[in-house]
């Protein structure tokens, strides 16, 4: 049963990040606009972030789903979820009425509290998978 839960969590997390990445890769201008609505970054940083962040998400999801560099992918996914939660919470506390941009423009706008909860849950799943992969690595002599 534990193997099925692990497989399901990897599929859920990798699938969510792959879907989100592809939606943003297909429309980087819309994603750049979504990033700008947060009012957290200076304008010169927004276009490069809108171009490169979705590719990082996609590479991490491929790494997770294929188990190639899985720990690195999980560490990056966890870090991204922390940053996403902080940005979403910042927007919510400042009273901004924005589309989170998490899954591109293809999805209906979600409330910021729901987006925070979703990012937190995905980050928690990533942490659980990272912890499990570290234990497995130590069991076969790969961990410190």
Task: Report the chain (144 residues): mean pLDDT per 10 consecutive residues.
Answer: 80 94 95 94 96 96 90 94 95 89 68 91 93 66 41
Q: Is 43 a domain residue?
A: yes
Question: Quick one: pLDDT at residue 75?
Answer: 94
Q: Is 28 a domain residue?
A: yes
Question: Quick one: pLDDT at residue 7?
Answer: 85
Q: Is 144 a domain residue?
A: no
Instruction: Report the predicted TM-score, pTM, of the whole model to 2 decimal places.
Output: 0.84
Question: Quick one: pLDDT at residue 140?
Answer: 38
Nearest to 122 by CA among 81, 86, 84: 81
| Structure token pair of residue 22 | 């592809």
Q: Is 121 a domain residue?
A: yes
Question: Quick one: pLDDT at residue 143?
Answer: 44
Tally of CA atoms within 13 A in the half-sphere of 49 that contains its CB = 16
Domain count within the chain: 1
Question: Quick one: pLDDT at residue 42?
Answer: 96
Burial profile 120-136: b = 16 or more Cβ within 10 angstroms, e = fewer: bebbebbbbbbebbeee
Domain that holds residue 108: 2-139
**Rounded Cα–Cα distance for residues 53 and 59 (Å):** 10
Question: Quick one: pLDDT at residue 102?
Answer: 84
**Rounded Cα–Cα distance for residues 74 and 63 (Å):** 9
**Rounded Cα–Cα distance for residues 106 and 99 (Å):** 11
Q: Is 24 a domain residue?
A: yes
Q: Are 24 and 50 in contact (CB under 8 A)?
A: yes
Q: Is 27 a domain residue?
A: yes
Q: What is the CA radius of gyration of the chain?
A: 16
**Rounded Cα–Cα distance for residues 82 and 101 (Å):** 16
């Amino acid at each position: 049963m534990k193997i099925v839960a692990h497989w399901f969590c990897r599929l859920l997390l990798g699938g969510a990040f792959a879907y989100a990445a592809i939606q943003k890769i297909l429309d980087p201008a819309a994603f750049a606009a979504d990033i700008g609505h947060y009012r957290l970054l200076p304008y010169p940083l927004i276009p490069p972030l809108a171009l490169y962040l979705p590719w990082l998400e996609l590479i991490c999801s491929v790494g997770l789903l294929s188990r190639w560099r899985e720990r690195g992918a999980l560490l990056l996914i966890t870090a991204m979820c922390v940053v996403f939660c902080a940005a979403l919470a910042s927007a919510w506390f400042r009273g901004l009425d924005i589309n989170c941009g998490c899954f591109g423009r293809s999805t209906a706008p979600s409330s910021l509290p729901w987006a925070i909860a979703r990012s937190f849950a995905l980050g928690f799943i990533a942490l659980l998978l990272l912890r499990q992969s570290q234990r497995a690595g130590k069991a076969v002599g790969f961990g410190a």
